[in-house]
Copies of this chain bind each other. A is one copy, B any other.
Amino acid sequence: MNRVDPLLLGEDLTAQLARLDMGGLGCVELLEQQLAAITASQPILNAYVAIDESAARAAAADSDARRKAGQARALEGVTIAIKDNLDVAGMVSTAGMATRRDAAVAVRDSTAVARLREAGAVIIGKLNMHEAALGADNNNPHFGACHNPHRPGFTPGGSSGGSGAAVAAGLCSAALGTDSMGSVRIPASYCGVVGLKPSWGAISTHGSVALSHRLDHVGPLTRSARDLRRLLPVLAGFDPASAQSRSITMLPTSTGPLRLGIVDFGDAVHCNDDVAAEFVRSLDVLFGLGHRRVDLPAPAFPPGHARRAGLLVCEAELLVEHRHDWQHQRDRFSPMLAKLMSYAEGRSAADLVDASRLLDRAQVQLQQWLAACDVLVTPTTPQRAFAFADAVPANQADLTGYANFSGNPALSVPMAVGEGELPLGLQLVGRVGDELRLIALAEAFQHATRWQPRLPAASHSWGMS
């Protein structure tokens, strides 16, 4: 095995691809470095729940051969790790649930994974997640907590916590997560990486363990915004095998100044003071780029109401998705998850319609805001990552849920926090199909804030510096 090079591991996917293109780095070499880093980090971070080393090595060797033959595809030889609710052929999709540990291995890749593989990406393994994707701390009772690479003992966020941690710690070139009320963007915020929840239906959810057919989105997590430009065209596309897939026309990137909408949330969302202060500084960066501020009115009702409606929608769908296990091995659901699902069990069809209509109202709220601006800007989360010993804040998804209820694209990009401080994400929300504009804005923001590729300082504790 090669000596691990933290500089290489901290680079974004685009830079790693450039190294592979230049020939100074081999695909197998990149993979081996990442595998070594995984091995070293697992006891502390626990980001992965399964690795298929032999399949990954074979794929990397194949990528080296293709590169040598001048047949490199768009993502030839970079590695992608997959949240464990998305099917990877030959591996079990546990969705972080004890009941699914003994599920049959997936016969086929999920559509998103298949598209990555066809573009030459090496699938490295499956990532830790919050049980059933319904929660945002990734303190998984069955597979163990996944820790934040910036501060072990703290949550990486969830439900795609393993995805956020693995990308931040350089344990893959990029990762896939899923996002039903913020599950890509919350770990991106807490782990200091970029996360994109695309327009609803843009990336097929076919081959996933569903949380909610209405709210689920597959999305990539990366170290830089520019990486998303590589991944999105590969991942997006209509999939007739899925009722949750759409042909989304991606709008062109604009170059002129944008109207950035800033909502006065007032008492509707409690943001920590440190978050509010960082947000103001980040806005100044954006305005410094020439964009205009548009002040938007407070929401007609607190997003917490819609969040609870979204929870009911997810819980009711879990009753159907896991019906057999719920009937026959209910004791293998964690007490917390069982409590949520039991609540939904007592609800009526009309209750579910009520919940869905409240989500509709939240969607209209977002649409009305976006009718007055080009991009809505908020903090991604009302707080930074918290210690596992602390209480889980109820409002983690209050700022992210809107984009799930509405199906609008939303991206989290790291704010420029001080040395030694925990990361924090800035959320950009756009019109349906406006992903490229969000990515371009995030890229410009990362440029202005002088983003540099590097592993978290804490990674020295597992030998990465």
Contacts and interface: CB of A to CB of B under 8 A. Distances in A.
Contacts of A406: 243
A103 interface: no
Nearest to A361: B243
Interface in A327-385: 344-345, 347-354, 356-357, 359-361, 363-364, 367-368, 370-371
A316 B350 contact: yes
Contacts of A351: 349
A255 interface: no
A371 B237 CA distance: 13
Nearest to A312: B349
A352 B323 CA distance: 14
Nearest to A323: B350
A247 interface: yes
Given A240-B364, A243-B360, A353-B317, A347 B345 contact: no
A240 B368 contact: yes
A176 B377 CA distance: 39
Interface string A428-447: 00011100000000000000
Contact of A354 (B242, B320, B348, B433): B320
A240 B432 contact: no
A317 B350 CA distance: 7
A12 B349 CA distance: 44
Nearest to A360: B243
A54 interface: no
B353 A243 contact: no
Contact of A349 (B213, B247, B348, B368): B348
A66 interface: no
A448 B263 CA distance: 57
Task: Determine the main DSSP class of A at the interface with B.
Answer: helix
Contacts of A49: none
Contacts of A241: 364, 367-368
> Which bucket holds chain A's interface residue count?
35 or more
Nearest to A210: B357
A433 B370 CA distance: 23
A240 B320 contact: no
A432 B245 CA distance: 12
Nearest to A320: B353
Nearest to A354: B320
B243 A364 contact: yes
B432 A246 contact: yes
A249 interface: yes
A25 interface: no
A319 interface: yes
Contacts of A371: 240
B356 A240 contact: no
A359 B243 CA distance: 9
Contact of A348 (B247, B317, B348, B359): B348
Given A360-B213, A370-B240, A406-B243, A350 B344 contact: yes
A363 B247 CA distance: 15
A462 to B, nearest CB: 43
A110 B177 CA distance: 40
A312 B353 CA distance: 11
Contacts of A213: 356-357, 360
A359 to B, nearest CB: 8
Interface in A109-157: none
25 contacts: A213-B356, A213-B360, A240-B367, A240-B368, A241-B364, A241-B367, A243-B359, A243-B363, A243-B367, A244-B360, A246-B432, A247-B432, A247-B433, A249-B249, A312-B349, A316-B352, A319-B350, A320-B350, A320-B353, A344-B349, A344-B350, A345-B348, A347-B349, A348-B349, A349-B351
List 9 A-B pairs, minimum CB-CB distance, nearest first: A243-B360, A240-B367, A316-B349, A349-B352, A347-B349, A243-B363, A319-B350, A240-B371, A320-B353
